[in-house]
Structure 1
Amino acid sequence: MLHHTLTGPEDAPVLVLGNALGTTTELWREFSLPFRLLRFDHRGHGGSAPVEGPCTIEDLARDVVELLDHLELRQVYYCGVSLGGMVGMWLAAHTDRISRLALVCTTAWVPDKTRLDERVELLRSHGMESVADSIVSRWFTPTCEPAVVEYFRAELLKAHLPSYLACVEAVRAMDLRADLAKIDVPTVVIAAAQDHATPTELVRHIADDLPDSELYVVGDAAHLAVVEAPRTISVILDDHFGND
């Protein structure tokens, strides 16, 4: 069972918050939304136990289904960043558990796998420390507060290496483009203008292929836009999920 927290008014709709690869529930620490917030850690991240062997985006999504079943939550709102967004796309395309969806700084596929191949090679030969700086440099803009950058770098280094590697390879193998047409729930898609991990054109592809979506581009943020621009994104999410 995934490590999770469930906080907020008991009579409010449940909003599930899916993390980026290498982050934990702390990704959402600046968020205050008028929903019952279900935060969880992917396998091998934060408080969630590692799972040995390879995995797919479907496997990670089924971890979330198991969590929803455990909490007896039939249908929820879902917002995911990067890997969390990939999980959200799979859930919305293949289950009826998501009634509204938000996708932040994510992609339906990775056109150029070179960077991920290099990351896997470094991880296998030299461990997490060898890739931490390059990963974090893509997470934040140069003007982000150093203490914030260092905090999330330290969180990244705590991830269980085999689990993290399995998730990287799941992202590398993923192709959700054909699934986008199956997503029939209202969706907001958010890109960050300074995101070099999932550039705006990749995020825009998702919005273009979804039957019912809106696209927003946040200016002063990089890949972890929910950390650098929490107020802006909170307003977008509050408006989107509050219109059910």
Structure 2
Amino acid sequence: MATKTVEIDSISYYTQLEGPADGKLVVLIHALMANMHIWDSTVPALNKAGYKTLRYDHVGHNKTPAPSDPNRSFHFDDFTRHIRHIIQTRCPDEKPYALAGCSIGGVLVLRYAQMFPGSAQKIISCAAPGAKSLDASKPKWASRVEQFKAEGTVDNLAVATIERWFPDPCEPSIREKALQITKTCTLPGYEICAKCTTNYDYSGELGQIQKEQVLILAGDKDANIGPREVLVDVHKKIKGSKYVLMKDTGHIPPQHQPAEFEKILLDFLQV
């Protein structure tokens, strides 16, 4: 395992590269309020199958601090450029074989395919909140940010988040580990990423994703992304994409149903 800090746009990203040096590169991008450890089961499975993995913590999450410039604002397009920079820094002259993202990570991998067409062969978008901001979600994000500010701690927000993310059936140990992960999110990180979530629209460009094989994955009990039709619509607009609905699964499939998620992921990568 090799960790390294990558600097870009006043952010010191904490990154982790693992697996066989000659393996195909799979880049993993986590959800808002989570961190790179949502992939703790996924990474060994990928490494065992011969893939090299690269993951990182979002800004203000876990070991990636808030921006050194507190006045700097960001958009998902910025974060997508950052992914490209992280890859080029950690794996110079190497194209990623695949990018897999969960929640906002699922949005970012789709945007990556739009901004850098043909630079990856496979895209796995998991539990993304659609290809554009959902109007119904904007008041929720504003309320959560205000709660975080007012309470001065992430604790209550973290507990409520885990309840939404991991509906029954779910092992208590899974919820407990996820709770500790969410508690590593800082207020600046939460606020920056929440603002990005309410300010994007890539729906008109989905048809441009044609050079990559795309998997759209959703949990049948995920109540965090709005109507299930949101991701079905994304799937329909990306020619040749595959859609998978995981049973008894909430918003973070890599943690909620790791064995099933890893089988779906490896099957898709190996096609």
Provide TM-score, normalisation by structure 1: 0.93
Contact 2:58 2:189 in 1 (8 A): no
Out of 169, 175, 178, which is 1:143 matched to? 169
Out of 201, 204, 212, which is 2:232 matched to? 204
Could you tell me which runs of 5 or more consecutive residues in structure 1 were left unpaired when the two chains were aligned.
none
Aligned partner of 2:56 in structure 1 is: 40
Out of 116, 132, 138, which is 2:158 matched to? 132
The alignment status of 1:5 with 2:16, answered yes or no, reads yes
**Structure 1 counterpart of 2:82, one-letter code:** D
Write the deviation string for residues 82-134 of structure 1: whole angstroms up to 9, x where unpaired. Answer: 01111111111011332210010112123212222221222232242342222
**Post-superposition, which runs of at least 4 consecutive aligned residues in structure 1 deviate over 4 A?**
none
Aligned partner of 1:75 in structure 2 is: 95
Pairwise mapping of residues 36-185 of structure 1 onto structure 2 (< 5 A)? 36-51=52-67, 52=70, 53-71=72-90, 72-76=92-96, 77-96=98-117, 97-106=119-128, 107-111=130-134, 112=136, 113-127=138-152, 128-184=154-210, 185=212
* Identity across the alignment (%): 23
CA RMSD of aligned residues (A): 1.6
Question: For 2:121, what is the secondary structure of its paired residue?
Answer: strand
Question: For 1:101, what is the secondary structure of its paired residue?
Answer: strand
Tell me the number of residue pairs that the alignment of Structure 1 and Structure 2 aligns.
243
Question: For 1:206, what is the secondary structure of its paired residue?
Answer: helix
Provide TM-score, normalisation by structure 2: 0.85
- Report the more deviating stretch, 11-20 or 132-141: 132-141
Deviation at 1:73, TM superposition (A): 4.7
Deviation at 1:59, TM superposition (A): 1.4
Contact 1:191 1:216 in 2 (8 A): yes
**Structure 2 counterpart of 1:17, one-letter code:** L
Deviation at 1:179, TM superposition (A): 2.4
Aligned partner of 2:38 in structure 1 is: 27
